[in-house]
Amino acid sequence: MNIPDPDQPTPSTRPDLTNVVFLKNEVTSEFIEVGAYTYADSEGDPAPFEQRCVKYLYGPQKLRIGKFSTIGPGVTILMPGGNHPMVGPSTYPFTMFGGDWADATLETFLAIEQPGDTVIGNDVWIGRSATILPGVTIEDGAVIGACAVVSKGVGAYEVVAGNPARLIRSRFSDEEIELLEKARWWDWPIEEITRHSATIMGGSPGDLAKIAEDLRSDQ
């Protein structure tokens, strides 16, 4: 089959698309997990994704990204390691400097509740120069508008935009979203994804639900 090799850093079928990087082949951090065919557009920036786009990746929180998601140029994903304490009068990060300041404040710092993992689902499109704040979950099929600042969770197949990002519309009805979440086309064998790619791109949730049902019955 003449399809992109998910184990190559750039699409094997389009060697000219050097700005398109399949992230699972590039990331090295133990704090990032990425599914097959998810890519980021580097727009010619040679810096790797985890340096170019992901900030304050100190752990233990992870960045988890599903399959077939697309990340536009200039996207910034902020991790909790950059947060400053806001539980008391000052936001100054005394603990960061070590020495007596760390000794005096470490217990207080460790007691502060921190955001959890940042999760980006499957088939998510994040537009140019969007910013994702720490601990946010973006569910499957969501679309993040260009320059949006995402400060809270985004539901499945929602379109959000603005600063802070707000719901613009849902791409499908609740019933159709349920069909899509059950179909989970991104988990089909790649041969079936290829065979039905036109329907995945331009068909209806009902069409995908029918294909998924047929695939299950063939197993």
pLDDT at 32: 98
For domain 1-171, say whether CATH 3.30.930.10 is its number: no
Q: Please, what is the end-to-end C-alpha distance for the chain in angstroms?
A: 22
Span 107-112, mean pLDDT?
92
The tens digit of pLDDT for each residue in 12-54 reads 999 999 999 999 999 999 999 999 999 999 998 999 999 999 9
Quickly count: other Cβ atoms within 10 Å of residue 122's Cβ. Answer: 22
What is the reported pLDDT for 218? 73
Does the structure show a pLDDT above 80 at 133?
yes
User: Cα separations (Å) of 77 from 64, 149, 206?
Assistant: 11, 10, 34
Q: Using the predicted structure, report yes or no on whether residue 219 has a pLDDT greater than 70.
A: no
CA-closest candidate to residue 180, choices 203, 152, 154: 203
Q: What is the pLDDT of residue 195?
A: 97
Distance CA 77, CA 133 (A): 6
Q: What is the pLDDT of residues 93-108, one digit of tens each?
A: 999 999 999 999 999 9
Tell me the C-alpha to C-alpha distance, in Å, between residue 175 and each of 33, 154, 182, 218.
30, 18, 11, 25
Residue spans per domain, the chain: 1-171, 172-219
Give the per-residue pLDDT at 77. Answer: 98
Q: What is the pLDDT of residues 155-200, one digit of tens each?
A: 999 999 999 999 999 999 999 999 999 999 999 999 999 999 999 9
Query: 0.75 exceeded by the pTM?
Result: yes
Residue linked to tokens 């806001």: 86
pLDDT tens-digit series, residues 63-96: 999 999 999 999 999 999 999 989 999 999 999 9
pLDDT of residue 55: 97
Starting at the edge strand that comes first in sequence, how are the strands of the sheet with 39-41 ordered? 20-22, 39-41, 70-71, 125-126, 143-144, 158-161, 166-170
**Whole-number pLDDT of residue 25:** 95
How far is the C-alpha of 59 from the C-alpha of 114, rounded, in Å?
A: 11
pLDDT of residue 180: 98
Report, as residue numbers or ranges, the catalytic residues: 84
Q: How far is CA 184 from CA 66, 150, 196, 198, 199, in A?
A: 12, 24, 13, 16, 13
Residue 72 CB neighbour total at 10 angstroms: 16
> Cβ distance 179 to 208 under 8 Å?
yes
DSSP type of residue 59: S
pLDDT for 1 equals 84
